[in-house]
Structures are given as structure tokens and as C-alpha cells.
Structure 1
Amino acid sequence: MPASRRSPNVVLVISDEQRADTMPGVRAADVSTPHLEWLAAQGTLFRNAFCPTPICSPARASLLSGLYPHNTGMVANHQERPISDEIHLSPDVQLLADYLQPLGYACAYTGKWHLGTGGDRRGFSDFASRASVYDVDGPEQNDILRFSQQVGVTIGQKLGGHDADPATFDRRINVGTSLLPLAHHPSVIHARAASRFVQQMAETEQPFCLVYSCHEPHPSFVSPRPFDRMYDPADMPLPETRHDNVGPHLLRHRASGGLKSTVDMPLDDDDLRAIWAAYYGAVSYVDHLVGIILATLIETEQWDDTLFIFSSDHGDMMGSHGLLYKGAVLYEELVNIPLLIRAPGGLPAAHQTQRLATHVDLVPTILGWCGASVPGELQGADLRALATGGDEPVHDGIALEYHSNNWRERPAPLRGWRTEEWKYVETIGGDDELYDLRADPLERDNLLDDPAAGDARRQMQAALATWREQTGDPWPEVPVPDRFVVGPRERQRQAGGT
């Protein structure tokens, strides 16, 4: 039954590796996202929202904690045990549910977690959320794997269980069709679990917080039908910078892993069009998943009482600057993320803001809306004024950091400072970067050594240094666990293994 509550419900939807320029009103291609378009008409779209780091696990830790990665302990991707026992959330870090449960909230999490294996969800109830090799200690804990066996669908565990059909999969470009039909796909199962939770809460007077995290549009691009072939590659526009595969970052990504070079692979324009068509299909699939939850909120008459937030952990290069995937660069394509906030009551409608925002702002913002005091140790700002029609900036600049991808266990540390006009990137190798984003939004002209940009460079360096001091960032003394210096394969070789 609908209830009038003092505190709003909170629904946070997190997609995976979705670029900001896939959102309504800003994308280059004609893509079907009716639910996201409806949400944008109901709330505020933040055009300059950023992840603090462009890697899954540390970005998610910051989003749910309100802290920068170097303060959470999660500075690289958490992978299946026993590989990454040294990469974990610090035990004293509180997540969103830890703050909301004492206020009387029922807190549920469904979908990709990627913050540690096992069943501990740090204050959240576990609703069929263990679906990835990064979330479990073994196949016996994989809820989706067990479900697929019950319904007679044979799948593996890679990327949450939605392995590609070998008959359709092009391994070179990571494009294909899921083995699973739509009804049995992990992200649909998780969305339905989220929907059931919303239905259950409609029968109570208790406010709730629901986090739903899907795997899409993360590569591999293997959406279930009909999303796998929804778009014609011939219709796909390509990044203007796709042939810009030059500069120090090319050597950096080759050393650190994660990113792929379109030159090294190699890929041509037809390959990129096929990748973009599959990626946009996955974006439309994300929209479908959002619609499942929206429909239940509306049907149970809880929509008016709900704070709804849509975001993603980070972007993907998708051929921009001659790169694919994610890693040791801080380009806009990777760090600019979708952020759509629909305030309880729905005002203002169809608003957009160019003011800066970051993942670290979301926990303070949610706590403010829920009537909680915001702990002083949180490092973000309250976005409520911007989300309800205001225009006063809450940040003069926001920080970016990168430690390691963790896939190849080679750190390539970066720090960055991004204002509304400039971006500065600092490295330990001396190949720093400075971009005038108003004149050069594609980040092609590094002005670091340009005398005319000297004042801007010094201001950005000073602001970044101040942030480092305020947040306890150990840069440039970057802590590197032993496992980064000597990886498990090298340890095995040293021990006489193969």
C-alpha cells in the first residue's frame, strides 16, 4: 500500500562502463532509451559528472562510501581469490547502507558487487546478487549459475554468467550474442529481484534503499536478443579522435594493461562500427532493465516518494584516441559518467546542469535527502541544490586518480584536477598533460609547456596539491603492494612452477 513517509525511498541504479555521451540529448547516434529519456524529463541530468577513478572496483567503492579511492583501500579491481587478498575495502569504511539502516531504512543490493567475494554486502541484504567470478569464492555461491542449471541453460561464469554464443562471438572485437535468452539473463533476473523487493516494501511503512547494478554495457558486448542486433553498424558514427593513437599514454597503457590500442590489435573503421552498434545495443538493454524497476515503483504508487539516481561506474574509450576499454588515461570518454537525479516529488523537470559533480558526492546527497547528518569524514558535496534547479557551483574543481587496473598487475599511477574549463593530469613519469577544455574539448592539444597556459597550469597544480593534502593522498609516494611488484605468475615461476 502506498505510504506517506517522512524520509524518501532511495533507488540507485548503476550501469557498468557506460559513457556520459550515451545519455539522452547528448549522444551522436539514434538510440532507443525511452525510460532514460522519461527520467531525464522528470529530473536533472548532470552533464559534467565524473568518477574519481576509471576502474570498476575503486569507482564503486567511492560511489557507495563518499570517499576517494586512496581512502577506501580499494585502489584496483578486486578479482577472484586468491589473487587479490591485498586489495579490499578497509574494514573501517562505511557504505551507504551503514548510514541508512540506523535511520530505519531497509537496504537491499542486487547485481554486480565487485567489492569483495562471499556474502557480506556491508549493510545491504543480498538479493540474488552473486553472479560474477569477482563476487564469489566458488561456483557453488554463484546464484545465476545455479539458476541456469535449474532451468536447463548451460553457461559459464565469465562476466556474470552471460557468456557469448560461440556461433555468434567475434573474439577479436568482443562482439556477439548471449547464450541466455532475455528472460534468463542475469541482469533481468537481478532487475526482477529488485522489483520484488520494491513490491514487498509497498506493503510496509518502512522507507527503503535499493541499489541495482547491472553488468552492461561492459565488454564483452554480448547482449541477449533483441538487443544484440538492434543497430546497424553502418549507421554508427565514429569518434573523431580514433586515429590519434600517439603520445606517452600509448606507452603507458601498453605497460599497465587494461586499455587496448586499435593500432596494436589492429582494428579498422568497420570493426569500430560493429563495436559501437553492439555497445549501443547494450545501452538500450540497460534502459530496458531500468524500465522494469520504474514500472514497479509506479504500479505500487511509490514513485512520488522516491529519490531515483542513475549513474555508471566509469566510461569506455570505444576507439576514442585510438584506444578501447579502460586503464591508465583520464580522458573525458573514460571519466565523464552519466548522472541523472530525480528528486522526490519530481521537481524540477527536464533540467540540465553543467556544474561539476563526482561519485563522491552521492552519499552526502542521499543522506541529506534522507534527513541524516552528513559525517565530517565524507569527502563529497551535497548536490541537492543543483538537482532541484539551482546553479551555484559546489566544486571549483574535482580530483581524478588512477592506481592500477590489476589485470596485469602493473601500476601506472595518475592524478588529475578537472575544472569547468581545464584539465590537468600528473604522472610519475613526467608526461603530464594540460588541456583547455573550452577550446579543445577532444583533448588533442597538450598545453603543458605552452607559456600562454602557464598561469592555468600553476593554478591547477596548486589546487591538486591542496586536495592531496586535505585528503591524505600519499602521492607521489604511491603505495604498491608486493603483488604489484611481483605478480602471481612471476611468483609461480620463481617457485619453479610453469
Structure 2
Amino acid sequence: MSTPLPNILVIMADQMSAQASSLYGNPLVPTPSLERLATGGVVYDCAYTPCPLCVPARIATWTACHPSRTGCQTNQDSFPENRPNPFSLWRDMGYRTALIGKDHCFTAAQKQAFDEAFEVEHYGVPESAEAWQRDPDRARAVHAANTMRRNMPATDAPYPHATTDHPEEHYATPAIAACTAEFIATSDRPFAAWVSFPDPHPPFEVARRWFDEARIDLSDLPKERPVDWGQMPERLRILHGMLAWPADAQEDLAICVSIYFAMIRQVDHYLGRILDALEDTGQADNTIVVFCADHGDFGGNFGMMSKGGGFPDCLARVPLVVRAPGILPAGTRAQQPVSLVDILPFLLSAQGTDPSILGAVDGLAEALIQPFRTSVVSEYGAGGPLYRFEDYANDGAPAGIEAIKKTLLRREAEGERAMVRFGRFKFIDDPMGDLDELYDLETDPAETTNLAGKPEHRETRDIGRTHLKAWRRRNR
């Protein structure tokens, strides 16, 4: 008798830093559902995004390729037509497929690979989404609950933020969890689902009850040594000028960080509802569950919120927990370097499909099973001209979210930066210019001291550069 195909459930949070979870040592953000998932699976302590930007990270996850291999390097790109759509593959294998939540990856034609789709974006339900036709009452209620996100209050802070009082079930996160539970309960054959929470990505808005539970004090903001910005790359200095909260607005920053933490706590709570649905339907033992994030958020580090193209761990290191009964050991932590590009090859291999069906890829199924690589790479940029201080000055040196909007397209495409994590070190360079970066994450986890220019660290810097040169040769 043949073994039944395992269900596949990939749950992705948007812009959730690994540092913002009790599972990774942050007591300010209790995430009991993640810890519950971890008791049956593996927690990866050194997991990195292939790109700290939404669309490239998502496409990289579902192609198992770094952005520079596919050319999908900005938020304006879509899943490449010359790459297999994994959900089409799973559908052809007899799986029931679903997209529940945020997409930012597939074209309208490619979404025909999903048997079910309930799309929810950061501002509500897209009018083109199938849910408008299939369940209009729910879609309208969820869209109404996102009214504040579409009309965030004016503020002097770099990023607006708010709390609201809509019915709990109408917020995007609980609505996505409810749809997922219904999908699980009604599936009459193996399923492959991508559950994609838009939170905790901006707009920074959350139900008031979650904010009240997550509220932190000024003293809880990240404690960091002073940063010598003079030895940091120009990109980071410009970004700091755009996004740093003023010294006299630190209490407001604490409120924004509290909202970010509250959004994560809400995601974690409703992850628990999804895990309940698997257990209630008797499918937990035959379902591979992956929880991850596409990338992180400054989350108060460096006095900033959101993201912008750098590679500090708050942006580049992501939570990754995989529960694969009978395949991965339960209740363990793995220290080897891994990437989101490893997820798809692992899933295919675990269900008995040769990952070579994907063609040439960067991901390694083995990387999630055992120590298989010594380094992991992340990248940002599409080879566009560098965005310099003179460009920033010519733009009027805007700040906050308006600066992000005004400069986004140029900053997304600029340069060819790449980061490599190897052992305790992280090295970053851009062959188009700007300063190199080197950090010792053991002695300087906050990444405030750039060692790249120090003669005593020349050998370590050269090791990092060699890693990146080899990686770039493979990806050309």
C-alpha cells in the first residue's frame, strides 16, 4: 500500500524579524504558537532571506533561486514565466492548492494554479480577488476593517501608526486564519497551501486589545552602543536620515514598536488556530508545516522602523520553523546557515519528488536536514546607479514614509549589494562602489562597528569577499 502524499502548509508572515519573537529570545514578544510548532519540528537559528524586500524574497522562495539568477530583483517584478510554478506542479500531482492572504508574487494568469484564493493585502481585499465573488460579505467586512490602513493619520513621526476597534474576526490576520481552517476542514485530497499574513508589515495598525497587551516602555527599546555612522556605507547613512526617530520622539517610537510587536502577537495567536484546525481534522501528522517570514523590520533597532535595503540581522535574518513528522527530528534547533530558497526543494524532496524538476536552483533540500553549507547569501539591487547624498539633496531630503515613497524605485534597483554570513561573521560588499561592511556577530550582535576597514580584520574580510565572488560566478 502506497504512503499518502503529505499535505504542505507554508505560513509566511510579512516583515517579521527573527529577533521579534520569544522563540528567538525576545521576552517582549511571547509567541507561544511558534513555540508549540517548534516542539514538533526544527527551529533554524541561522535562517536568512535571499533579499530583504517583499517581492524578490517571495519569488526567490517559490523558485528556489536568488533574485540575481531569475532577474526578479525589485517589487515591480513578477514570478518568471520560464520557471515552473510549484503550485501548478502540485495541482498536476493531485493536490488541492490554495493562496490565502498576501500574494505579491504571481501574475493573474499564474494564479490559475490555485483551486482556492482568498487574497488580502495591506489595505484590504483587492477588488480583483476571487473572494469578492465567492464570499462578498466576508470580503466587504475585511475591507472595512482596513479603513484606517488606507487612511493613516497624519503625524510628525517617520511612520504613522494607529490602533483601532473593529470586530476582531474582521481584521486580516484572523480572517486569513479562518479561511485556512475552512480550507483544511473541507479538503478531500492532499493539499498544498500558501498562507501569507500581510502583518506585521506597515501600515503599523492593530486592534487595540493586542496593543494593550504588547505595550512596551521607553526602557524596552533596543539597547545599542553608539554607531559611528562615518564608517557606514552611504546607503545606510541616507536611510538613517530618512527613518530615524528624533531624540525627542523616543516615546512615540516605543508606541510604534509596541504596535509592531502587537501585530506579531496577533499573527502568532492565529497561527495557533491553524494548528488547531490540523489537529481537529486529524491531519497534523500528515502535514508538513513551514513558518517563515519574507524578511524583517528594523523594529526599533538603530532608532528606526520598516526596511530599506541594508542587511542588519533585524532585516535579513528571519524566523524559520519546519515541522515534518517522520522526516525532521522534533523539538530541535539547527545552527547551520539556511535560506528561504531551501524550502521548496525540501518540500518536493519530502513528498518524493526530485527537486531537479525545478531546473537549476540555488536551494538545497539537504540544507534543512543537516549541516550542508558553510555560508548563506542575501542580496539587494538590480544594478541601477547608486543613490547618493547629492541625489537625496536634489529630492529635497524628505524624511519618513514620504521619503520612502519618493525614493523607493531608485533605491530598490540601485547597486548589486550582497551579504554573506559565515560562522560568526557577516560581510557585505557592492562591486559598484560604497563601503564594504564586516561585523563580528558574536562580539557585536547589534552590528554597530564596521570592521571592514581595519587592517587586523583584513583576512576575515578577504574570506567574505571570496565567498561572494564564488557565489556571483555561480549565479551568472
Interval of TM-score (by shorter of Structure 1 and Structure 2): 0.7 to 0.9
Structure 2 vs 1, CA of residues 153 and 436 (structure 1 numbering), >3 Å: closer, same or farther?
closer
Q: Could you tell me which residue of structure 1 aligns to residue 91 of structure 2?
A: 101
Structure 2 vs 1, CA of residues 99 and 248 (structure 1 numbering), >3 Å: closer, same or farther?
farther
Q: Could you tell me which residue of structure 1 aligns to residue 267 of structure 2?
A: 286
Query: Which of residues 211, 223, 247 in structure 2 aligns to 1:228?
Result: 211
8 Å Cα contact 1:242-1:323 kept in structure 2: no
C-alpha distance in structure 1 between counterparts of 2:233 and 2:457, whole Å: 24
Paired residue type of 1:403:
G
Cα deviation for residue 91 of structure 1 reads 0.9
User: Which is further off, 169-178 or 304-313?
Assistant: 169-178
Q: Could you tell me which residue of structure 2 aligns to residue 436 of structure 1?
A: 440
TM-score by length of 1: 0.80
C-alpha distance in structure 1 between counterparts of 2:124 and 2:82, whole Å: 22
Cα deviation for residue 110 of structure 1 reads 0.7
Task: Give runs of aligned pairs for residues 325-344 of structure 1, distance below 5 A.
Answer: 325-344=306-325
Aligned: 1:115 with 2:105? yes
Structure 2 vs 1, CA of residues 249 and 155 (structure 1 numbering), >3 Å: closer, same or farther?
farther
Q: Could you tell me which residue of structure 2 aligns to residue 185 of structure 1?
A: 171
Cα deviation for residue 174 of structure 1 reads 2.7
Cα deviation for residue 316 of structure 1 reads 0.5
C-alpha distance in structure 1 between counterparts of 2:346 and 2:55, whole Å: 21
Question: Aligned to 1:61, what secondary structure does the other structure show?
Answer: helix
Q: Could you tell me which residue of structure 2 aligns to residue 196 of structure 1?
A: 182
Aligned: 1:393 with 2:368? no
8 Å Cα contact 1:52-1:69 kept in structure 2: yes
Question: Aligned to 1:408, what secondary structure does the other structure show?
Answer: helix
8 Å Cα contact 1:73-1:89 kept in structure 2: no
8 Å Cα contact 2:441-2:447 kept in structure 1: yes
8 Å Cα contact 1:109-1:124 kept in structure 2: yes
Task: Give runs of aligned pairs for residues 324-363 of structure 1, distance below 5 A.
Answer: 324-345=305-326, 348-363=329-344
Structure 1 residues 463-494: Cα deviation after superposition (integer angstroms, max 9, x where no partner): 2111111111xxxxxxxxxxxxxxxxxxxxxx
C-alpha distance in structure 1 between counterparts of 2:177 and 2:50, whole Å: 27
Paired residue type of 1:368:
S
Structure 1 residues 315-335: Cα deviation after superposition (integer angstroms, max 9, x where no partner): 111232333211121111100
C-alpha distance in structure 2 between counterparts of 1:218 and 1:259, whole Å: 21
Paired residue type of 1:465:
K
Paired residue type of 1:412:
E
C-alpha distance in structure 2 between counterparts of 1:238 and 1:100, whole Å: 44
User: Which is further off, 287-296 or 448-457?
Assistant: 448-457
C-alpha distance in structure 2 between counterparts of 1:177 and 1:29, whole Å: 22
User: Which is further off, 459-468 or 449-458?
Assistant: 449-458
Question: Aligned to 2:353, what secondary structure does the other structure show?
Answer: coil
Cα deviation for residue 371 of structure 1 reads 0.4
Cα deviation for residue 200 of structure 1 reads 1.4
Question: Aligned to 2:204, what secondary structure does the other structure show?
Answer: coil
Structure 2 vs 1, CA of residues 129 and 189 (structure 1 numbering), >3 Å: closer, same or farther?
same
8 Å Cα contact 1:258-1:327 kept in structure 2: no
C-alpha distance in structure 2 between counterparts of 1:147 and 1:242, whole Å: 51
Paired residue type of 1:402:
Y
Structure 2 vs 1, CA of residues 135 and 378 (structure 1 numbering), >3 Å: closer, same or farther?
farther
Cα deviation for residue 120 of structure 1 reads 3.5
Specify every segment of 5 or more residues in structure 1 that has no aligned partner in the other structure, as ranges: 79-86, 387-391, 473-498
Query: Which of residues 452, 458, 463 in structure 2 aligns to 1:454?
Result: 458
8 Å Cα contact 1:52-1:401 kept in structure 2: yes
C-alpha distance in structure 2 between counterparts of 1:119 and 1:191, whole Å: 25
Question: Aligned to 1:366, what secondary structure does the other structure show?
Answer: helix
Cα deviation for residue 234 of structure 1 reads 1.9
C-alpha distance in structure 2 between counterparts of 1:142 and 1:100, whole Å: 20
Q: Could you tell me which residue of structure 1 aligns to residue 390 of structure 2?
A: none
C-alpha distance in structure 2 between counterparts of 1:90 and 1:31, whole Å: 37
Task: Give runs of aligned pairs for residues 123-138 of structure 1, distance below 5 A.
Answer: 123-131=113-121, 136=126
8 Å Cα contact 1:65-1:93 kept in structure 2: yes
Paired residue type of 2:46:
N
Q: Which has the higher helix share?
A: 2
C-alpha distance in structure 2 between counterparts of 1:464 and 1:297, whole Å: 42
Aligned: 1:262 with 2:247? no
Cα deviation for residue 129 of structure 1 reads 1.4
Query: Which of residues 301, 314, 336 in structure 2 aligns to 1:320?
Result: 301
Structure 2 vs 1, CA of residues 192 and 119 (structure 1 numbering), >3 Å: closer, same or farther?
farther
Q: Could you tell me which residue of structure 1 aligns to residue 346 of structure 2?
A: 365
C-alpha distance in structure 2 between counterparts of 1:382 and 1:443, whole Å: 30
Q: Could you tell me which residue of structure 2 aligns to residue 496 of structure 1?
A: none
C-alpha distance in structure 2 between counterparts of 1:351 and 1:226, whole Å: 33
Structure 2 vs 1, CA of residues 252 and 28 (structure 1 numbering), >3 Å: closer, same or farther?
same
Question: Considering only aligned residues, what root-mean-square deviation do their CA atoms show, in Å?
Answer: 3.2
Structure 1 residues 173-229: Cα deviation after superposition (integer angstroms, max 9, x where no partner): 43212463211122222222211111112xx3x321111001111122212242132
8 Å Cα contact 1:367-1:374 kept in structure 2: yes
Aligned: 1:207 with 2:207? no
Specify every segment of 5 or more residues in structure 2 that has no aligned partner in the other structure, as ranges: 383-403
User: Which is further off, 10-19 or 458-467?
Assistant: 458-467
Paired residue type of 2:191:
F
8 Å Cα contact 1:11-1:307 kept in structure 2: yes
Cα deviation for residue 6 of structure 1 reads 2.9
Paired residue type of 2:185:
Q
Structure 2 vs 1, CA of residues 192 and 25 (structure 1 numbering), >3 Å: closer, same or farther?
closer
C-alpha distance in structure 2 between counterparts of 1:148 and 1:171, whole Å: 34
Q: Could you tell me which residue of structure 1 aligns to residue 398 of structure 2?
A: none
C-alpha distance in structure 1 between counterparts of 2:11 and 2:440, whole Å: 32
Structure 2 vs 1, CA of residues 303 and 155 (structure 1 numbering), >3 Å: closer, same or farther?
closer
C-alpha distance in structure 2 between counterparts of 1:358 and 1:321, whole Å: 25
TM-score by length of 2: 0.84
8 Å Cα contact 2:228-2:449 kept in structure 1: no
Cα deviation for residue 346 of structure 1 reads 8.1
Q: Could you tell me which residue of structure 2 aligns to residue 415 of structure 1?
A: 418
State the number of aligned residues: 446
Aligned: 1:17 with 2:7? no
Identity %: 26
8 Å Cα contact 1:49-1:358 kept in structure 2: yes
